[in-house]
């Protein structure tokens, strides 16, 4: 039984249009938020989170798109030293799972393998409308947020 408790130190939530531009903006804002929390751009944490957010946001914009519905990015920084990344969309019939490795000449199909390699854990949680794909990353590069929120 795990008796370790987690306390949320800071949270960031933003909705984006389900487009390639929205996915790029989600990644950029996630990295800016990390920097505000004391995790400098270019660090191991920043690089891993940037790649994970980019992949999950791109999947939400590409495969989770429902006309007129946005996708949501949520970052939860908690003690002891864990960042949870959540990307929620409104399409529930496409629940991702870890795919088989793509063929060497395939142009896609490696994104969730990358998420699996960079994250400490990841998964999918169904919602009333849609799903949330989440990943957790241990954060070691900073003492924590300068100003929560």
Summarize pLDDT for 118-142 with one digit per residue, the tens: 999 999 998 888 899 999 999 875 6
Length of the chain: 149
Strand extents, DSSP E, the chain: 7-16, 71-79, 82-89, 121-126, 131-138
Summarize pLDDT for 62-88 with one digit per residue, the tens: 877 777 789 999 999 997 789 999 999
* Cα distance between residue 134 and residue 75, in whole Å: 10
- Which residues does 102 contact at the CB level (< 8 Å), separation at least 6? 108, 109, 110, 113
CATH code of 7-97+111-138, in short, is: 3.30.565.10
Reported pTM: 0.81
CB 87 within 8 A of CB 57: yes
Instruction: Return the pLDDT at 74.
Output: 98
Tell which wins on pLDDT, 144 or 120.
120
147 confidence band (pLDDT: 50, 70, 90):
very low
Domain boundary assignment for the chain: 7-97+111-138
Average pLDDT value for residue range 92-119: 67
Average pLDDT value for residue range 85-111: 67
CB 115 within 8 A of CB 55: yes
Summarize pLDDT for 16-26 with one digit per residue, the tens: 999 999 999 99
């Amino acid at each position: 039984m795990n008796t370790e408790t987690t306390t949320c130190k800071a949270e960031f939530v933003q909705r984006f249009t389900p487009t390639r531009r929205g996915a790029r903006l989600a990644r950029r804002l996630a990295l800016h938020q990390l920097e505000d929390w004391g995790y400098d751009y270019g660090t191991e944490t920043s690089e891993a989170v940037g790649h994970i957010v980019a992949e999950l946001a791109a999947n939400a914009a590409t495969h989770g798109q429902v006309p007129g519905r946005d996708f949501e990015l949520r970052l939860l920084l908690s003690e002891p030293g864990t960042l949870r990344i959540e990307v929620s969309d409104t399409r529930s019939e496409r629940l991702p799972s870890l795919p088989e490795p793509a063929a060497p000449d395939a142009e896609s199909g490696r994104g969730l393998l990358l998420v699996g390699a960079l994250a400490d854990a990841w998964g999918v949680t169904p919602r009333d409308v849609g799903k949330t794909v989440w990943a957790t990353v241990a954060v070691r590069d900073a003492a924590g947020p300068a100003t929560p929120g």
